Amino acid sequence: MAMKTKTLILSGTAAIIAAVSGLAYAAGDGGTGDYEMVHKHWHFQGPFGTYDKAAAQRGYQVYREVCSSCHQLQHLSFRHLGDKGAPFYNKAYPNPNDNPLVKNFAADWSIEDVDTETGDIIERPGVPADKFPPIYPNVAAARASNGGGLPPDLSVIVSARGGGADYIHNLLVAYDTPVPEGVELTAGLHYNPVMEGGKIAMAAPLSEGLVEYADGTEATVEQMSTDVTEFLAWSADPKMEVRKSVGFMTMLYLLILAVLLWFSYKRVWRNVEH
Ligand code: HEC
């Protein structure tokens, strides 16, 4: 092999390695250094990974009963819960607006609307086409209710935080870490070693048995955290399953094409000396 090509390949490989390790660094865990992040194997990881639907369904329950008193899901409408690849997708209802579960979930929320006859602001039950409503009327109200802290929107939080699903899960389960000496907590702040600086304006949202799961799963903190994280991973990337299956079909197509091309190449050059 020519020297030039060799150098080119070597530097190419080096560049790829640098890029990959750079990415891994950028997606680092955050946190206060000495906290050991737990890395879970998530069902949705890998080229063929899918969302664990049962976990994501339980996760929605946790979101609704616990997190939704402070955190919005502004990028989602109720009907998204019943889309293909979503936790409550049902083949019998290809149009999620007809899915009875989705209708029930929507109706469980109160939506601010305008009475078309009087122009008055009214509250009505949600329908699948509605977006998840804001929790607070404005940022000032959100801060006032949370001791100055601002609960971020959770719809894309799994993509927004380095460490992704592992970060969210660790954040939720790390509250029971004893407060180390020298850490001063002012009113409204709680110790959480996963946060930069170890302080967070959110009190531990989960405690043993906080929700009662319809499927009988025991509601430990670990379980609720895993489930709500699975749900939030879906909300951050609702098209993942569709995308992966299209990717797989494309690879299959290219593979078959490559085999056919190989045989036609053989055939075309069959009688030529070479
Ligand atoms: C009583 C209100 C309240 C509830 C309930 C609540 N949170 Fe929070 N959450 C907050 C506040 C306030 C912050 C902002 C904390 C800060 O900036 O220090 C926050 C921050 C967060 C963050 C961002 C942390 C970061 O990296 O900046 C995540 C993730 C989160 N909450 C997830 C959840 C989940 C999941 C639930 C339900 C299991 C939940 N929260 C329940 C108030 C709440």
What's the rounded Cα separation, in Å, for the pair 230 and 38? 15
3-state secondary structure of 11: helix
Q: Do residues 138 and 273 share a domain?
A: no
Q: Do residues 185 and 269 share a domain?
A: no
Tell me, yes or no, whether 153 lies in a domain: yes
pLDDT at 4: 57
Mutate to test the pocket of ligand 1, among 32, 58, 64, 70 (most ligand atoms within 8 A of CB): 70
Determine the distance separating the centroid of ligand 1 and the alpha carbon of 253, expressed in angstroms: 44
Which residue, by CA, sits nearest to atom 20 of ligand 1? Answer: 151
3-state secondary structure of 216: coil
Tell me, yes or no, whether 230 lies in a domain: yes
Query: Which residue ranges of the chain lie beneath pLDDT 70?
Result: 1-33, 274
Q: Do residues 265 and 212 share a domain?
A: no
- E runs forming strands in the chain: 110-114, 121-125, 190-191, 199-200
CA atoms within 13 A on the CB side of 19: 6
Check the CA dihedral 51-168-238-228 and report its sign: positive
Q: Do residues 45 and 141 share a domain?
A: yes
CATH of the domain at 189: 1.10.760.10
pLDDT at 24: 43
Q: DSSP letter for 37, please.
A: P
pLDDT at 7: 54
Phi, psi of 177 (to 5 degrees): -65, 130
User: What's the chain's length in residues?
Assistant: 274
Q: Do residues 224 and 264 share a domain?
A: no
Residue 72: name the closest of 140, 138, 133 by CA: 133
Tell me, yes or no, whether 143 lies in a domain: yes
Site of tokens 């045989």: 263
What's the rounded Cα separation, in Å, for the pair 45 and 49? 5
Q: Do residues 37 and 72 share a domain?
A: yes
pLDDT at 34: 73
Check the CA dihedral 11-14-16-18 and report its sign: negative
Tell me, yes or no, whether 251 lies in a domain: yes
Tell me, yes or no, whether 190 lies in a domain: yes
What's the rounded Cα separation, in Å, for the pair 128 and 109? 11
Instruction: Indicate if ligand 1 lies below 6 Å from the C-beta of 160.
Output: no
Domain range for 67 is 27-76+132-238
Q: Do residues 41 and 56 share a domain?
A: yes
Which pair of tokens denotes residue 262? 């190989």
Q: Do residues 224 and 272 share a domain?
A: no
Q: Do residues 163 and 224 share a domain?
A: yes
Tell me, yes or no, whether 89 lies in a domain: no
Instruction: Indicate if ligand 1 lies below 6 Å from the C-beta of 174.
Output: no
Determine the distance separating the centroid of ligand 1 and the alpha carbon of 146, expressed in angstroms: 10
Q: Do residues 217 and 257 share a domain?
A: no
Question: Quick one: which atom of ligand 1 is closest to the CA of 194?
Answer: 26
Site of tokens 């719809």: 155
Q: Do residues 249 and 205 share a domain?
A: no
Which residue, by CA, sits nearest to atom 25 of ligand 1? Answer: 195
Instruction: Indicate if ligand 1 lies below 6 Å from the C-beta of 205.
Output: yes
Tell me, yes or no, whether 13 lies in a domain: no
Question: Quick one: which atom of ligand 1 is closest to the CA of 225?
Answer: 38
Q: Do residues 144 and 208 share a domain?
A: yes
Determine the distance separating the centroid of ligand 1 and the alpha carbon of 3, expressed in angstroms: 56
What's the rounded Cα separation, in Å, for the pair 103 and 78? 8
Dihedral angle computed from the Cα positions of residues 91, 95, 97 and 98, in that order, rounded to the nearest 10 degrees: -60
Determine the distance separating the centroid of ligand 1 and the alpha carbon of 270, expressed in angstroms: 68
Q: Residues with Cβ < 8 Å from 78, sequence gap 6 or more? A: 102, 105, 106, 109, 126, 127, 128, 129, 130, 131, 132
Measured in whole angstroms, the distance separating CA 43 from the mean position of its chain's CA atoms is 12
Give how many domains the chain has, as a whole number: 2
Tell me, yes or no, whether 119 lies in a domain: no
Determine the distance separating the centroid of ligand 1 and the alpha carbon of 168, expressed in angstroms: 10
